[in-house]
């Protein structure tokens, strides 16, 4: 089956499920923790994350997106919600192959015990409420521009002694379009049967997501727009902007547009990447009815992606051809020569320069780069400069990308 036909079938099935099941239980949903927005980065963008997620936290928005991780990742998150409700999350992401990733998530929500009283106002036993979710996700790069993901989760609610538990599935896709740096992502989340609390059966919050993301490297900006619909909510729009400074500091802002209501529901966040192995994120949100919420997260990245073949016996061997970035751009911006290139999963990069009439290439930086862009000071003299980029995985370097020539005037 050609990729175009395969993508069409997947999108058709996604929309068929969304339309066919969206109105069965309008206004009703239980276990709302299943759709809680835990990620500080994603919640700062108001949840518009299915098309731009590239870390382990993407498993909670689009199980296909986290295959874009470059290394293994551990993430810890604390959410201070209203009324002393607290949420904790541990996520583990393993990049087992440049095309394959596995994610594990454990989430818990709890609140202080509530003193129970009978109809006469006399104190009875204390009441506790909590929810927990454990999930496993896998994602695979079906094609260099098309990813798919699947997640399975087990959840358990304790509502003052009434226990409800069950299983649910998530399905998602992510694709790069013919427009450079424009991506489309979508997911169906929480596919599962009703759960029973004592004698009452309740549906879980089946959720649909469809979003687009666009990166503007020259402005150090990412834009995300996403439509979200849940079992008990109509379609609503989430929008987010992420500004970066040298991939070290990040400023994020988002807003939720809730159906016919035009009220602003903004969220604000910041992130810091002191080095390639550590990320710190924080988000502040003021819910108009429920008050302030805070999300804090820390992520650790480690290891290198090995060029292994999944399955089989014997030593690990390459399951793909190491290739350079397929797209390389170079242009002048003021006194800076900017070089940008497309992603190669699991790779770091080297940028090479030479004068057009010279046969000798020189390295633009002594170190390998994790970023997909490099700023070089503009030469003072008029000249023609050739630029090429290579990928490096596990100590092995690819051939040159296509050579881009820039005229310095």
Predicted local confidence at residue 300, as pLDDT: 94
Beta bridge partners of 244: 250
Predicted local confidence at residue 29, as pLDDT: 53
H or E element at residue 44? helix 40-44
Query: Which token pair is 352?
Result: 């090479």
The pTM is what? 0.71
Predicted local confidence at residue 403, as pLDDT: 92
Q: What is the rounded distance in angstroms from the CA atom of residue 353 to the CA atom of residue 340?
A: 14
The more confident residue out of 213 and 179 is: 213
Phi, psi of 18 (to 5 degrees): -65, -45
Question: Residues 242-263: what's their mean pLDDT?
Answer: 81
Ranges 22-26, 86-90, 322-326: which has the least confidence = 22-26
- Split at pLDDT 50, 70, 90, the class of 321 is low
Most confidently modeled range among 61-65, 160-164, 346-350, 369-373: 61-65
Q: What is the rounded distance in angstroms from the CA atom of residue 151 to the CA atom of residue 169?
A: 6
Q: Is 343 exposed, middle or buried, given 0-12, 13-18 or 19+ CB atoms closer than 10 A? A: middle
- Split at pLDDT 50, 70, 90, the class of 94 is very high
Residue 406, CB-side half-sphere exposure with 13 Å CA sphere: 20
Question: Residues 273-279: what's their mean pLDDT?
Answer: 87
- The DSSP output letter for 41 is H
Could you tell me the fold of the domain covering 328-408? Answer: Immunoglobulin-like (2.60.40)
Q: What is the rounded distance in angstroms from the CA atom of residue 59 to the CA atom of residue 50?
A: 9
Most confidently modeled range among 262-266, 322-326, 385-389: 385-389
- Taking 60 as the threshold, does the pLDDT of residue 310 lie above it? no
Say if CB 66 and CB 53 are below 8 A apart: yes
Q: What is the DSSP string of 16-34?
A: HHHHHHTTTTTT----GGG
Predicted local confidence at residue 187, as pLDDT: 96
CATH 2.40.160.60 domain residues, the chain: 3-302
The more confident residue out of 289 and 236 is: 236
Say if CB 81 and CB 87 are below 8 A apart: yes
Question: Residues 307-328: what's their mean pLDDT?
Answer: 54
- Taking 70 as the threshold, does the pLDDT of residue 389 lie above it? yes
- Split at pLDDT 50, 70, 90, the class of 263 is low
Predicted local confidence at residue 289, as pLDDT: 65
Predicted local confidence at residue 319, as pLDDT: 40
Beta bridge partners of 288: none
Beta bridge partners of 338: 331, 375
Share of the chain above pLDDT 70, in %: 83
pLDDT digits (tens, 9 = 90+) for 131-182: 899 999 999 999 888 999 999 999 998 877 778 888 999 999 999 888 888 9
pLDDT digits (tens, 9 = 90+) for 217-252: 777 899 999 999 987 778 889 999 999 887 789 999
Query: Which token pair is 49?
Result: 């994350």
Predicted local confidence at residue 85, as pLDDT: 84
Say if CB 138 and CB 102 are below 8 A apart: yes
pLDDT digits (tens, 9 = 90+) for 1-59: 344 444 444 444 444 334 344 444 444 556 677 888 889 999 999 999 999 999 999 99
- The DSSP output letter for 67 is G
The more confident residue out of 58 and 84 is: 58
CATH 2.60.40.10 domain residues, the chain: 328-408
Domain 3-302, CATH: 2.40.160.60
């Amino acid at each position: 089956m050609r990729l175009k036909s395969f993508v069409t079938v997947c999108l058709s099935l996604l929309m068929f499920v969304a339309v066919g099941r969206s109105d069965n239980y309008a206004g009703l949903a239980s276990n709302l923790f299943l759709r809680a927005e835990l990620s500080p980065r994603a919640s700062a963008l108001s949840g518009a994350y299915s098309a731009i997620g590239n870390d382990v936290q993407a498993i909670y928005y689009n199980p296909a997106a986290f295959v874009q991780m470059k290394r293994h990742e551990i993430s810890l998150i604390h959410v201070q919600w209203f009324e002393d409700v607290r949420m904790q999350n541990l996520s583990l992401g393993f990049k087992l192959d440049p095309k394959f990733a596995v994610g594990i998530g454990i989430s818990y929500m709890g609140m202080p015990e509530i003193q129970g009283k009978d109809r006469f106002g006399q104190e009875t036993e204390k009441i506790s409420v909590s929810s927990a979710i454990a999930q496993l996700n896998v994602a695979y790069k079906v094609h260099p521009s098309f990813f798919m993901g699947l997640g399975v989760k087990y959840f358990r609610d304790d509502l003052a002694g009434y226990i409800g538990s069950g299983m649910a599935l998530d399905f998602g896709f992510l694709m790069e379009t013919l427009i450079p740096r424009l991506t489309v992502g979508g997911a169906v989340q929480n596919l599962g049967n009703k759960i029973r609390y004592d004698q009452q059966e309740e549906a879980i919050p089946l959720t649909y997501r469809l979003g687009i993301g666009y990166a503007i490297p020259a402005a150090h900006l990412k834009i995300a727009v996403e439509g979200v619909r849940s079992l008990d909510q109509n379609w609503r729009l989430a929008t987010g902007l992420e500004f970066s400074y040298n991939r070290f500091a990040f400023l994020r802002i988002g807003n939720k547009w809730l159906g016919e209501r035009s009220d602003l529901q903004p969220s604000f966040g910041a992130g810091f990447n002191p080095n390639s192995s550590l990320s710190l994120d924080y988000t502040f949100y003021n819910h108009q009815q429920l008050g302030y919420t805070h999300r804090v997260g820390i992520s650790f990245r480690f290891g290198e992606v090995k060029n292994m073949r999944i399955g089989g016996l014997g030593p690990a061997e390459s399951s793909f051809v190491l290739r350079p970035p397929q797209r390389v751009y170079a242009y002048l911006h003021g006194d800076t020569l900017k070089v940008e290139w497309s992603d190669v999963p699991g790779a770091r990069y080297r940028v090479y320069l030479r004068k057009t009439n010279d046969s000798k290439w020189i390295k633009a930086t002594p170190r390998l780069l994790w970023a997909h862009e490099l700023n070089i000071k503009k030469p003072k003299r008029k000249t023609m400069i050739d630029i090429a980029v290579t990928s490096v995985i596990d100590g092995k370097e690819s051939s040159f990308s296509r050579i881009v020539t820039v005229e310095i005037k």
